[in-house]
C-alpha cells in the first residue's frame, strides 16, 4: 500500500491507512508499505551490507550457506550504523503497524540479513515459527513479525520471496511433514513480494513462504528485523550490541533492544 506525501513527511500514518494496514496484516499475513524509507539511507545500508556479506562469505561460514542452504545466505546484522539507524530499527510506519497489532511492549528479538545469491535455488517451503498452542483448532493473534527492508528492487528476476497469503491462520498442518505441506500449498494461491528499494514489509512469521531462485548476476540483499510481544523468551543467540553503539542509541531504540546483551567494543 502507498502512503500520502503528507504521511511520509510527518512520519505518521492516517487512522484510515493504519486500520487498512492492520487489517491486511491480520487477514493476509503481511503488508507492504511502499517507498517509505529514505533512499539515501537504503543506498548506504546496501553498500555496508554488501561489504559485510563479502567478508562473511570469504571467512567460511557464509560460504557454507551457499553450498548447504540453496544459495540463501543468512548473516547476523552488525550492530553498528547504518544497520542500527532509526530509519530501520525504529521506522515509524513499521512501528505503528506492529504496536497496533501487538501492543507497545514489543522488542527486537533477532536481526539478520536474508540474501539470495546469484544461482540460488528454491528454499523449502516453511513458516518461521509455529503457533503458540498447536493443539488449538483456531489461530491466536499475531505475536511475532519480521520487518523486511529490501536494499535493492525485489522482483522475479532476482528472487523476490514467495508467500502464501492467509496461511498464517492455518492450524491443521504438521510442520514436520514437508511433503504434505508442498502438496497442500500447490492448491493455494501464492504471491511474490515485488517491491522497490525504499519499501518495507511487515510479515506474520507464521505465514508459509520460501526464498526463490535468483537467476540474475547480482546479490539480492534484504535486512530482516524480528519484533516480538514482550512475553516471548529471549534467544541467547541475540545480536550483541557494542557499548559505543548502545550509548548513541535513542531511548526508543534502547527500549526495543532492551533484552540484547551490551558488550565492550573490540580492541582496534
∠ CA 115-155-183, rounded to 5°: 80
The tens digit of pLDDT for each residue in 15-33 reads 999 999 999 999 999 999 9
Q: Is the pLDDT of residue 235 over 80?
A: no
Question: For a pLDDT cut of 70, what percent of the chain falls above it?
Answer: 93
Report the CATH fold assignment for 37-262. Jelly Rolls (2.60.120)
CA distances from 66 to 104, 198, 212 (A): 38, 27, 14
Look at residue 29 in the predicted model and tell me its pLDDT. Answer: 98
The tens digit of pLDDT for each residue in 209-234 reads 999 999 999 999 999 999 999 887 66
Query: Which H or E run contains 184?
Result: helix 178-185
pLDDT band of 174, cuts 50, 70, 90: confident
The tens digit of pLDDT for each residue in 27-76 reads 999 999 999 999 999 999 999 999 999 898 888 766 666 665 678 888 99
| pTM metric for this prediction | 0.93
Amino acid at each position: 500500500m502507498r502512503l500520502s506525501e503528507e504521511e511520509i513527511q510527518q512520519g505518521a500514518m492516517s487512522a484510515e491507512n493504519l486500520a487498512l494496514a492492520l487489517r491486511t496484516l491480520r487477514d493476509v499475513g503481511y503488508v507492504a508499505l511502499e517507498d517509505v524509507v529514505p533512499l539515501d539511507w537504503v543506498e548506504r545500508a546496501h553498500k555496508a551490507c554488501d561489504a559485510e556479506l563479502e567478508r562473511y562469505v570469504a571467512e567460511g561460514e557464509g560460504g557454507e550457506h551457499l553450498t548447504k542452504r540453496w544459495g540463501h545466505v543468512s548473516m547476523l546484522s552488525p550492530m553498528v550504523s547504518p544497520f542500527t539507524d532509526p530509519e530501520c530499527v525504529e521506522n515509524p510506519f513499521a512501528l505503528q503497524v506492529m504496536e497496533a497489532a501487538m501492543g507497545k511492549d514489543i522488542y527486537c528479538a533477532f536481526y539478520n540479513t536474508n540474501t539470495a545469491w546469484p544461482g540460488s535455488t528454491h528454499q523449502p517451503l516453511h513458516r518461521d515459527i509455529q503457533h503458540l498452542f498447536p493443539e488449538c483448532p483456531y489461530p491466536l493473534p499475531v505475536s511475532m513479525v519480521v520487518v523486511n527492508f529490501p536494499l535493492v528492487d525485489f522482483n522475479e528476476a532476482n528472487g523476490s520471496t514467495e508467500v502464501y497469503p492467509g496461511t498464517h491462520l492455518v492450524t491443521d498442518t504438521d510442520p514436520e511433514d514437508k511433503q504434505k505441506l508442498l502438496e497442500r500449498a500447490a492448491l493455494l494461491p501464492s504471491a511474490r513480494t515485488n517491491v522497490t528499494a525504499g519499501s518495507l514489509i511487515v510479515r506474520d512469521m507464521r505465514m508459509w513462504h520460501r526464498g526463490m531462485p535468483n537467476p540474475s548476476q547480482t546479490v539480492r540483499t534484504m535486512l530482516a528485523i524480528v519484533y516480538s510481544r514482550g512475553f516471548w523468551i529471549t534467544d541467547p543467540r541475540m545480536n550483541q550490541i557494542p557499548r559505543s553503539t548502545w550509548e548513541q542509541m535513542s531511548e526508543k531504540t534502547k527500549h526495543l533492544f532492551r533484552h540484547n546483551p551490551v558488550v565492550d567494543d573490540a580492541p582496534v
